[in-house]
């Protein structure tokens, strides 16, 4: 899937079906010329329903179809026959989709379970037929209720990826290379900043047929929480990760400073992100000898598990997977 095909934000317009009209009908048979009212009720208008689908992981399929309209209910008829209910309109979305009101920005729904359904717009009620209005003073009512109009409106759909581990780091920190080595994912890799323009997911195979999901988020830069660079668009994907793997390259001028900048950007975006488990991986460690590694170790941030890894040489990757697995299963 190309960068252009990854869509994690979209607006849609949903219109539910109008309820069918109630029937105005008086019963007639061969020998009954003045029967009572027997007009049936109108059918219920169709709903617009969002449905979570585990086989989707982007909102790209909604890019060119943004208007959804459910079917209206059928009108009632004689012999108290109820009109047919209108067909629902279904919108399939990936797991992790949230729905916001376009005017207030308020979160209305979140879909996180496969097959989960929520009614986005409820269809209108069918009108009642004239037999409902018969009384001792009005034996032949010649009126019925019209159907209730459907509802319509715009909604924002946003996707927050569901992954166990999120990779956090500056551009060109080696996140995509690590993902390609640990998983079968094939992200774009090159020796320049912002190679990754969309989140990538991969499944890490662990011991005894166990596995966990890891997400490579486009590189964060200082000021990302205020909208600089690409990080602002993708910071929300980190919110659903239970563990964060910070990556700083071994040739960084100041590893602790880079880590603190990354941590600060997450805090500004959402302070709750600091409550997640964190691991620091010093990437590209194949360029270090034992003496340099020992020297760098003295300057590493306190209070966080730190590992020296190299995706190219497969250095420290087994220990990294063990550490992540323990944190995910505490």
- Tens of pLDDT along the chain (330 residues) come to 444 456 778 999 999 999 999 999 888 777 766 778 999 999 999 999 999 998 887 888 898 899 999 999 999 998 889 999 999 999 999 888 999 999 888 999 999 899 999 999 999 999 999 989 998 888 889 899 999 999 999 999 988 777 789 888 888 778 888 888 888 655 444 443 334 446 677 778 888 878 888 888 776 655 444 444 444 556 777 777 889 999 999 988 899 999 998 888 888 888 888 889 999 999 999 888 888 889 898 889 888 999 999 988 889 999 999 999 999 887
Architecture of the domain made up of 165-328: 3-Layer(aba) Sandwich (3.40)
Contact 105, 115 (CB under 8 A): no
> Packing angle between helix 317-328 and helix 175-182, nearest 10 degrees?
90
The pLDDT tens digits for 162-197 are 778 988 888 877 888 888 888 865 544 444 333 444
- How far apart CA 3 and CA 149 sit, in angstroms, is 41
Residue 278: strand, helix, or coil: strand
Note the pTM of the prediction, 2 decimals: 0.68
Q: Where are the domains of the chain?
A: 1-159, 165-328
CATH of 1-159, one of 1.10.760.10, 3.30.450.20, 2.60.40.10, 2.70.210.12: 2.70.210.12
- How far apart CA 317 and CA 314 sit, in angstroms, is 6
Contact 227, 234 (CB under 8 A): no
DSSP per residue, 8-58: -EEEEEEEPPPPPPPP--B--BTTBSS--B-PPPPPPPPPEEEEE-TT---
- Return the residue matching tokens 């989960």: 116
| Residue 115, Ramachandran bin (φ over 0: left; ψ between -120 and 50: alpha; else beta) | left
Contact 85, 93 (CB under 8 A): no
Residue 283's beta-bridge partner residues?
Answer: 249
């Amino acid at each position: 899937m190309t960068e252009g095909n990854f869509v994690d934000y979209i607006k849609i317009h949903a219109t539910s079906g109008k309820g069918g009209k109630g029937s105005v009908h008086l019963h007639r048979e061969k020998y009954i010329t003045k029967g009572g009212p027997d007009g049936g009720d109108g059918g219920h208008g169709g709903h617009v329903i969002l449905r979570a689908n585990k086989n989707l992981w982007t909102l790209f399929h909604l890019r060119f179809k943004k208007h959804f309209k459910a079917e209206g209910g059928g009108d009632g008829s004689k012999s108290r026959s109820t009109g047919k209910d209108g067909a629902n309109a279904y919108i399939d979305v990936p797991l992790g989709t949230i729905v916001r009101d376009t005017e207030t920005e308020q979160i209305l729904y979140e879909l996180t379970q496969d097959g989960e359904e929520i009614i986005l717009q409820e269809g209108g009620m069918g009108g009642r037929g004239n037999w409902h209005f018969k009384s001792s003073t009005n034996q032949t009512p010649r009126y019925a209720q019209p159907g209730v109009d459907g509802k319509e409106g715009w909604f924002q759909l946003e996707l927050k990826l569901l992954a166990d581990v999120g990779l956090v780091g500056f551009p060109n920190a080696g996140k995509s290379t690590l993902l390609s080595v640990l998983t079968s994912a094939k992200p774009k890799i090159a020796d320049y900043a912002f190679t990754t323009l969309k989140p990538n997911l991969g499944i890490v195979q662990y011991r005894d047929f166990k596995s966990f999901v890891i997400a490579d988020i486009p590189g964060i830069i200082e000021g990302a929480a205020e909208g600089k660079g690409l990080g602002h668009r993708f910071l929300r994907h980190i919110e659903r990760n239970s563990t964060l793997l910070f990556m700083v390259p071994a040739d960084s001028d100041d590893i602790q400073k880079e880590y603190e900048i990354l941590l600060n950007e997450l805090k500004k975006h959402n302070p709750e992100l600091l409550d997640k488990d964190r691991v620091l991986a010093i990437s590209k460690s194949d360029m270090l000898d034992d003496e340099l590694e020992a020297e760098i170790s003295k300057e590493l941030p306190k209070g966080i598990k730190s590992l020296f890894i190299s995706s190219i040489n497969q250095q420290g990757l087994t220990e990294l997977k063990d550490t992540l697995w323990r944190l995910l299963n505490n």
